[in-house]
Amino acid sequence: MTTLSQPSSDLALEAVQELLARPLLDLVYEAAQVHRTHHRPDELQCSELLSIKTGACPEDCAYCSQSSRYTTPVERSPMAEIREVVQRAQEALERGADRFCMGAAWRQVKDGEAFESVLNMVREVKGLGLETCVTLGMLDGEQARRLKEAGLDYYNHNLDTGPSHYDKIVSTRSYDDRLQTLENVREAGISVCCGGILGMGESEFDRAELLHQLAILDPQPESVPINSLVAVEGTPLAQAEPLDWSEMVRVIAAARILMPRAVIRLSAGRKEMTEEGQSLCFLAGANSIFVGDELLTTPNPAPQSDAALLSKLGLKAVRETR
């Protein structure tokens, strides 16, 4: 399968479709082999998330609890205080996280006080000995360079879904806008964290398109979060059909085969999965999770239950898996 794993625009969409159409256990078996060639199968990278500015976002992402267009249970809150963020990062470190990811409900980064404050947060969190990640919406080249200078390790910016399905999910930001931000991040020398969401009414073809787009990024992303939609009351996707566990396993296995060196994160939606379903995802090559009680605005499994699962599986939380 080495031809599938080259970050080349030669990778055919049909090859990805064929991969996704394979019998699940064949796919998992091959993905597990690829995984073991490139990663230590007993190690799991653990990131913790914090929302540093919540809600009142002008974008219309149909899945999001923080868009100002929908009435959701999420309460908006202004930019967090640096002291509070550093305290939360310290707690994350003590809980065993190795990366701290800060998210802001912004359309894009704007120069000014709030951005200066994010730069200080990055400096302080990095100073604690944690890897740093932020997700702030779109950003330009100069803003990316300033984040790098402040000590940023990863920038998260997702493609969310395949290009054909994208217009049904977001109208206020284009697919090309996303690709441009990813390029700005890459050029600044920041590692790219880029993935998508399953369970938004997309077809198998749309999933193939998403994986294809991720795999032809050159270089491929270092980190690939695969989220399962957390259906939030009040959003257009509130009534979306829940994702079957096998779909998550299938996409993770395909992602592992297509992006052998990436760290693949079993991201949002873990709380709705069984331990068995999550375990198959780890076997299929997922080697990262979000830890801590909350994602950005929705719940995540309790740290004690994650610790119990890791112990059952003989998985160790690590500082760096790559």
Residues annotated as catalytic (active site), given as ranges = 57, 61, 64, 101, 133, 193, 265
Residue 123 buriedness (CB in 10 A; 0-12 / 13-18 / 19+):
middle
Taking the complex as a whole, how short is the minimal distance between the CB of residue 267 and ligand DTB, in angstroms?
Answer: 4
Closest CA to 139 of 168, 182, 199, 93: 182
158 binds ligand SAM per the rule CB under 6 A = yes
Contact pattern from residue 70 through residue 89 relative to ligand SF4, giving x for each residue in contact according to CB under 6 A and a dash for the rest: --------------------
67 binds ligand SF4 per the rule CB under 6 A = yes
Angle at 46 between CA 160 and CA 309, to 5 degrees: 105
Taking the complex as a whole, how short is the minimal distance between the CB of residue 26 and ligand DTB, in angstroms?
Answer: 28
Taking the complex as a whole, how short is the minimal distance between the CB of residue 295 and ligand DTB, in angstroms?
Answer: 3
Residue whose token pair is 């940023």:
152
64 binds ligand SAM per the rule CB under 6 A = yes
**158: Cα within 13 Å, side-chain hemisphere:** 21
133 binds ligand SAM per the rule CB under 6 A = no
Residues 107-126 contacting ligand SF4, CB under 6 A: 107
Question: Can you tell me which of 92, 137, 196, 243 binds ligand SF4, judged by CB under 6 A?
Answer: 137
Taking the complex as a whole, how short is the minimal distance between the CB of residue 51 and ligand SAM, in angstroms?
Answer: 8
61 binds ligand SF4 per the rule CB under 6 A = yes
Rounded Cα distance between 29 and 34, Å, is 9
Cβ count near 209 (within 10 Å): 23
Cβ count near 36 (within 10 Å): 11
Question: Can you tell me which of 64, 169, 188, 315 binds ligand SF4, judged by CB under 6 A?
Answer: 64
Per DSSP, the three-state class of 135 is strand
Q: Whose Cβ is closer to ligand SAM: residue 5's or residue 166's? A: 166
146 binds ligand SAM per the rule CB under 6 A = no
Rounded Cα distance between 89 and 87, Å, is 5
Say what the alpha-carbon torsion angle 126, 285, 305, 64 is, to the nearest 10 degrees. 70
Closest CA to 95 of 272, 302, 297, 314: 302
Residues 181-220 contacting ligand SAM, CB under 6 A: 197
Taking the complex as a whole, how short is the minimal distance between the CB of residue 105 and ligand SAM, in angstroms?
Answer: 5
Distances (CA, A) of 144 to 12, 129, 154, 193: 31, 21, 11, 14
251 binds ligand SAM per the rule CB under 6 A = no
243 binds ligand SAM per the rule CB under 6 A = no
Which positions touch ligand SF4 (CB under 6 A)?
57, 59, 61, 64, 66-67, 105, 107, 137
Contacting positions for ligand SAM (CB under 6 A): 63-64, 103, 105-106, 135, 137, 157-158, 160, 197, 227, 229-230, 232, 268, 296
